[in-house]
Structure 1
Amino acid sequence: MNSIKEKEVKQNLASVKNTKQKKQLSEEKKDMISGYLYIAPFFIIFAIVGLYPALFSIYLAFQKWNGLAPMEFVGLDNFVVVLTDPLFWKSIYNTIIIGLMGTAPQLVVGIILAYLLNLSFLKFRNFFRVTIFMPYITSMVAVALIFSVLFSNSESSIANYVIGLFGFEPVSWQASEWGTKIAISIMVFWRWVGYNTIIYLAGIQSISNDLYEAATIDGANKFQQLIHITMPLLKPFIVLNVFFSTVGALQLFAEPTVFLGANAFSREEAMTVVMYLYRDAFSLQSFGTASATALILLVIIIIFSAVNTYLTSGAGKKRKEAKL
């Protein structure tokens, strides 16, 4: 009898444990389902707005389609049309030149400005930080109005007046090829230098003050501290800014479009790759060649990003080898 009772007790305990385990599993499943429901809106919106258009663009690159008629599979013909178009290569050239002229200086100037804005004896630091970041959040309409006045074709424009002080002849900024490139590059520099400065400033503020105090005790001046302390420790932020600036330069669209206005897509001297893509899609209704251009641009961005990563990692390896 005792053995029978012991068995019944054990069975009851086992059933209680099973019910508890089932409850725990059901609660875990509920938590898991609720977690997926919380993050589901992001993935749904991403799939609709981001993933589907990207996949559809890849599919469309091999089709001939004007947006209304039925699609026609043409294989690689769209890529051939784009790669044999002289205007496409002109847009590549314009994108690289304007990108270098507008992006490279801001990466250097941004470090200098961030270092100056972090100096302890600088008065009104918060005011200067807000001021230098203002162009990034300024409306493109306001930017267009400002630069259309600064770089107008008239001899009395502000830009022509400034270069006239140095003995140069007036420039038709919106009519000449290099005048247009220089004006757009200055616009890019003015709009994005504050963004890069803020990122550099965040990186500088993450560096311990003990390093600067030790360097000051050892007799290092501010310039030596910038070269030997700030720059090496700021390397991850420099790599990040170079990467984003490279991608942004290759996707240049708003600045030349706003600066040239209605004539933007008929001017070869300022045509960028994204403008070429936009013209094919929405002016010529050739969505196939536009999608092919987008894929080619994607490959170019990947190549530039890979080169930047390789050069950065290579520089890091050389420094480690030198220390060893």
Structure 2
Amino acid sequence: METPHAVVQPTPKLKRSNSWAYSSRIAPYVFVSPFVISFLLFFAYPVVSTVIMSFQEVLPGQSRFIGLDNYSKLLNPTFYKAIGNSGMYTFWTLAVLIPLPLLIAVILNSAAMKAKNVFRSTLFVPALTSVVVAGTIFRLIFSELDGALANSIFRALGGEAQKWMAQSGTAMMVLVLLATWRWLGVNIVYFLSGLQSIPAELYESAEIDGATAWDKLLRITLPLLKPVTIYVLTISIYGGLSMFTESFMMYNGNRSPKDMGLTMVGYIYQQGMEQNKLGFGSAIGLSLLGITMFFNLIQLKFFGLFRKEE
């Protein structure tokens, strides 16, 4: 008797979906589309609109082209004052917030340093504080009242009460002190990350060759920290020239005696928002963009970022 053979059913073929979501050509564009849309809406469109408005007189409900009139109005004493204040603030923040964090980072990275994580956390905490809150507290500390903390300490040391925010020298000192208190820990973290990426074998070899701590700092640490230093310098230039909230909070508004607290961004806010001169404010903003790019390109060229390494 013959054994019946099992009937083998053919395996059904899976139909390939023709949906665009499964296309290997279209899928990459789908994934990057959120970034592209965000870039176009929140960066490209505002920049293009600002460039167009800088050649216009923008009034409620209407606008008209006026050529270069907004740029010709830039050459005024208030604009020069704002540039001077922003430039001086940037200079002093660079002079403090690059060498000081670097020195502290080297100390924290030392093998002899105890409780490193405690110091790192403590120094980073100010960066988590709102600049509005920090500015308000500093305004109270450096108030011109005799009972203010700064004046109380100054008088205890034999000095006289000062009007800290009404004198150009002390006002700039307070603003730089606020920036130092707030951003010191951030720059320390940047430098620490760079220091920890340097191989320990380099320092050991240098010690065998008789190098001192100063030699190791100059010949190993600083050269290998060049990329981190360039990054910190770049963001510090941007942060210094774009400072606004600190001055606004310290003076409880955008008005200061003899404009000693007026910055470039403050001037944009004053003309564009307070006086409703959006066209003129746009011209100031583009001027600030040009100045920032100029200084950053100069420092990048100076540090050799555009040169091929040997």
TM-score (norm 2): 0.87
Deviations 1:65-121 (A, max 9, x none): 13x1310110000011122x2101100001011121223211000100111111122
CA 1:117–1:187 in structure 2 vs 1: closer, same or farther (change >3 Å)? same
Matches within 5 A, 1:276-291: 276-291=267-282
- In the other structure, the counterpart of 1:213 is 204
CA distance in 2, matches of 1:92, 1:255: 16
Letter in 1 for 2:45: Y
2:39 paired with 1:54: no
Contact 1:103 1:189 (C-alpha < 8 Å) held by counterparts: no
Contact 2:139 2:249 (C-alpha < 8 Å) held by counterparts: no
Letter in 2 for 1:287: L
Q: Which moved more, 1:303-312 or 1:218-227?
A: 218-227
- In the other structure, the counterpart of 1:8 is none
Q: Percent identity?
A: 31
- In the other structure, the counterpart of 1:140 is 131
CA 1:315–1:52 in structure 2 vs 1: closer, same or farther (change >3 Å)? closer
CA distance in 2, matches of 1:158, 1:172: 13
Matches within 5 A, 1:100-249: 100-164=91-155, 168-249=159-240
Match of 1:154, SS? coil
- In the other structure, the counterpart of 2:37 is 44
Q: Which moved more, 1:161-170 or 1:224-233?
A: 161-170
Contact 1:95 1:249 (C-alpha < 8 Å) held by counterparts: yes
CA 1:199–1:255 in structure 2 vs 1: closer, same or farther (change >3 Å)? same
Cα drift, residue 175 of structure 1: 2.0
Letter in 1 for 2:135: A
2:23 paired with 1:70: no
- In the other structure, the counterpart of 1:265 is 255
Letter in 2 for 1:77: D
Contact 2:21 2:27 (C-alpha < 8 Å) held by counterparts: no
2:73 paired with 1:81: yes
Contact 1:110 1:197 (C-alpha < 8 Å) held by counterparts: yes
| From 25, 28, 36, the counterpart of 1:32 | 25
Match of 2:123, SS? helix
Cα drift, residue 161 of structure 1: 4.1
CA 1:311–1:168 in structure 2 vs 1: closer, same or farther (change >3 Å)? farther
CA distance in 1, matches of 2:148, 2:65: 52
Contact 1:200 1:234 (C-alpha < 8 Å) held by counterparts: yes
Q: Which moved more, 1:216-225 or 1:291-300?
A: 216-225
Name stretches of at least 5 consecutive residues in structure 2 with no aligned partner: 1-15
CA 1:164–1:313 in structure 2 vs 1: closer, same or farther (change >3 Å)? farther
Letter in 2 for 1:134: V
CA distance in 2, matches of 1:69, 1:27: 43
Contact 1:103 1:188 (C-alpha < 8 Å) held by counterparts: no
Contact 1:152 1:172 (C-alpha < 8 Å) held by counterparts: yes
Contact 2:83 2:264 (C-alpha < 8 Å) held by counterparts: yes
Cα drift, residue 257 of structure 1: 1.0
Q: Name the structure where helix makes up a greater proportion of residues.
A: 1
CA distance in 2, matches of 1:227, 1:167: 42
Contact 1:63 1:71 (C-alpha < 8 Å) held by counterparts: yes
Letter in 1 for 2:234: F
CA 1:202–1:167 in structure 2 vs 1: closer, same or farther (change >3 Å)? same
**Aligned pair count?**
294
